[in-house]
């Protein structure tokens, strides 16, 4: 594949490494080598089975950080792919491979943007940093959250953070995420009494008992959202009861659910309302709660303005601010006080068979990232 840009070449190297969560497969060492060559000091941080690193160039503020992950989701059935997901190929201007869009293409663009920026501005203001993990696509307990905890413990702050997740919809840079909804998970267990279906008076069916409560949870209007977020949503992702026999009343029902909640709600307010509904229905139950992340919002300011101007400069088009979609590791960084934005390539094929990214878009991304650095770290 001749005549490839530095960004595409690096993306191909990263995609060829089978870094399925929590494996890194050498991706981080490739990035570290490139960053150390331009003056970054690197700290490798391994927690459990997860590789992370924090790299920084400069000792003063403001700190502009790039955040991302080297891990990818499994490829699925190999025969469904047009080419091997870990042997990247270019067809019709698209780079194919697992992680091409989510997010090894972005990682490559981040590195080459910094290389170009440092070459032009070796004595730039402030600091550039990288926060990279191999635990974003999994349960995310030993990745970014642990690095942030380490930084907080020594009072090392990030001022501006670009999380380079695939945020774009129809063209690169048309959407940037300046916030995300919170995510609250619950596993509800409703107790009944197992028995014969012919003698229901001797049993207590937890499916029947929970049905009214489930209906109420599904139809509850939690809030109406606000100017920045859609309304809070409740979704059941799994429900299970029964022994598999048609003549046995089950003794227990298990239901798994999730809230994606806006800033009109808190973890505590949602828990309180759920318990109220279940208690009003007289259920014998337990709930195991797990908070994946609080909602966050970065209002218009220095980082949003820099990203908007950079996108307009490179693409010729304006951008839209959005808080839609799932969670990202920005949820661990925003609570420290950092301004956080997600800006990356098109998300149309992420986690899919034949995942791909435009090679032209990768070069545009690199230039956009470089332009953001120019606007934040170059004296006017």
pLDDT of residue 140: 87
Q: What are the tens digits of pLDDT across the range 270-309? A: 999 999 999 999 999 999 999 988 999 999 999 999 999 9
Catalytic residue among 51, 136, 329, 363: 136
DSSP-derived 3-state class of residue 226: coil
Q: Verify whether residue 136 is a known catalytic residue.
A: yes
pTM confidence score: 0.88
Distance, first Cα to last Cα, the chain? 40
Beta-carbon contacts of residue 32 (< 8 Å; ≥ 6 apart): 42, 44, 53, 55
Q: How far apart are CA 23 and CA 18, in angstroms?
A: 8
**Across 33-47, 180-194, 323-337, least confident range:** 323-337
The answer to whether the CB of 222 falls within 8 A of the CB of 152 is no
The answer to whether the CB of 346 falls within 8 A of the CB of 168 is yes
Q: Is the pLDDT of residue 1 over 90?
A: no
Q: Tokens for 33?
A: 């080598």
Backbone angles phi, psi at 122, to 5 degrees: -65, -25
Task: Report CA-CA distances (Å) from 95 to 28, 40, 363.
Answer: 21, 29, 12
Give the pairing of strands 89-91 and 94-96: antiparallel
pLDDT of residue 324: 87
pLDDT of residue 2: 62
Q: Is the dihedral of CA 370, 313, 162, 24 positive or negative?
A: negative
Q: How far apart are CA 265 and CA 223, in angstroms?
A: 8
Q: What are 236's strand-pairing partners?
A: 257
Q: What are the tens digits of pLDDT across the range 57-104? A: 999 999 999 999 999 999 999 999 999 999 999 999 999 999 999 999
Q: Verify whether residue 102 is a known catalytic residue.
A: no
The answer to whether the CB of 27 falls within 8 A of the CB of 93 is no
Q: What b-and-e string marks burial along 94-132, b requiring 16 or more CB atoms within 10 Å of the CB?
A: bbbbbbbbbbbbbbbbbbbbbbbbbeeeeebebbbbbbb
Catalytic residue among 71, 102, 137, 342: 71
């Amino acid at each position: 594949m001749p005549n490839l840009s530095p960004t595409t070449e690096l993306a191909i190297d990263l995609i060829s490494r089978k870094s399925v969560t929590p494996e890194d497969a050498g991706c981080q060492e490739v990035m570290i080598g490139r960053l150390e060559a331009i003056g970054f000091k690197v700290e490798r941080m391994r927690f459990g089975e997860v590789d992370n690193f924090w790299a920084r160039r400069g000792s003063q503020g403001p700190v502009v950080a790039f955040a991302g992950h080297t891990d990818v989701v499994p490829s699925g059935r190999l025969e469904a792919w047009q080419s091997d997901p870990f042997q990247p190929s270019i067809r019709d201007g698209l780079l194919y491979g697992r992680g091409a869009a989510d997010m090894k293409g972005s990682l490559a663009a981040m590195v080459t943007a910094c290389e170009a920026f440092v070459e032009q501005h070796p004595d730039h203001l402030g600091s550039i940093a990288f926060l990279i993990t191999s635990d974003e696509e999994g349960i995310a307990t030993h990745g970014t959250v642990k690095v942030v905890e380490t930084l907080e413990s020594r009072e090392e702050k990030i001022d501006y953070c670009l999380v380079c997740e695939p945020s774009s919809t129809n063209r690169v840079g048309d959407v940037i995420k300046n916030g995300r909804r919170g995510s609250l998970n619950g596993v509800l267990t409703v107790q009944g009494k197992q028995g014969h279906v012919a003698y229901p008076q001797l049993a207590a069916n937890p499916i029947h008992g929970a049905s009214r409560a489930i209906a109420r949870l599904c139809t509850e209007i939690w809030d109406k959202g606000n100017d920045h977020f859609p309304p809070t949503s409740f979704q059941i992702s799994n429900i299970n009861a029964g022994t598999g026999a048609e003549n046995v009343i089950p003794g227990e029902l298990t239901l798994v659910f999730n809230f994606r909640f806006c800033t009109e709600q808190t973890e505590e307010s949602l828990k309180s309302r759920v318990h109220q509904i279940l208690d009003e229905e007289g259920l014998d139950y337990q709930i195991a709660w797990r908070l994946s992340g609080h909602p966050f919002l970065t209002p218009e300011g220095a980082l949003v303005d820099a990203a908007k101007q950079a996108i307009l400069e490179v693409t010729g088009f304006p951008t839209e601010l959005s808080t839609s979609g799932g969670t990202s590791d920005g949820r661990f960084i925003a609570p420290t006080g950092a301004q956080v934005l997600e800006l990356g390539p098109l998300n149309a094929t992420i986690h899919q068979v034949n995942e791909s990214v435009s090679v032209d878009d990768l070069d545009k991304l690199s230039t956009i990232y470089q332009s953001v650095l120019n606007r934040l770290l170059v004296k006017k």
